[in-house]
């Protein structure tokens, strides 16, 4: 084995590690942004569900909004599974779960003021997740 072989082998290993690291960072970016988007859609669906249920209880629109909120929550849960698989930081997973919990309870608000407060709390929880995810990606 010659010196040049050892140098080439070392460079190949270094390149392979970097490629793996870069791939993982790209996967995280895709997963984190998809999850944040699904939470935003879910939040909108929960707000719509609350408004339809309070504007015209029992109507077809209220039922449709409820069913759509279930669908959107299911999409967000799927994305949360990806987060659990790819995130290295338990704190980030906790923030992701917290955000979905906050978003999922908006429709339970008793009045319009509570609905807006819940919606704002959910938005802040999503933003907390996004900021923490961004820190993990850039570190």
DSSP summary character for residue 110: S
Domain 28-138, second-level architecture: Up-down Bundle (1.20)
Q: Residue 102 contacts by C-beta under 8 Å, 6 or more apart in sequence?
A: 118, 121, 122, 125, 126
**Interval 70-123: pLDDT, tens:** 999 999 999 999 999 999 899 999 999 999 999 999 999 999 999 999 999 999
pTM above 0.85, yes or no: yes
Q: Within a 10 A sphere around the Cβ of 19, how many other Cβ atoms?
A: 10
């Amino acid at each position: 084995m010659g010196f040049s072989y050892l140098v080439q082998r070392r460079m190949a290993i270094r390149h392979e590690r970097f490629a793996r690291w870069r791939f993982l960072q790209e996967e995280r970016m895709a997963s984190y942004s998809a999850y944040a988007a699904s939470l935003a859609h879910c939040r909108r669906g929960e707000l719509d569900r609350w408004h339809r249920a309070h504007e015209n209880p029992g109507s077809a629109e209220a039922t449709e909004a409820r069913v759509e909120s279930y669908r959107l929550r299911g999409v967000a849960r799927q994305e949360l599974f990806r987060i659990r698989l790819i995130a290295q930081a338990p704190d980030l997973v906790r923030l992701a779960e917290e955000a979905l919990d906050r978003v999922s309870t908006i429709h339970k608000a008793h009045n319009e003021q509570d609905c807006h407060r819940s919606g704002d709390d959910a938005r802040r929880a999503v933003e907390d997740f996004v900021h923490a995810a961004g820190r993990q990606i850039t570190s």
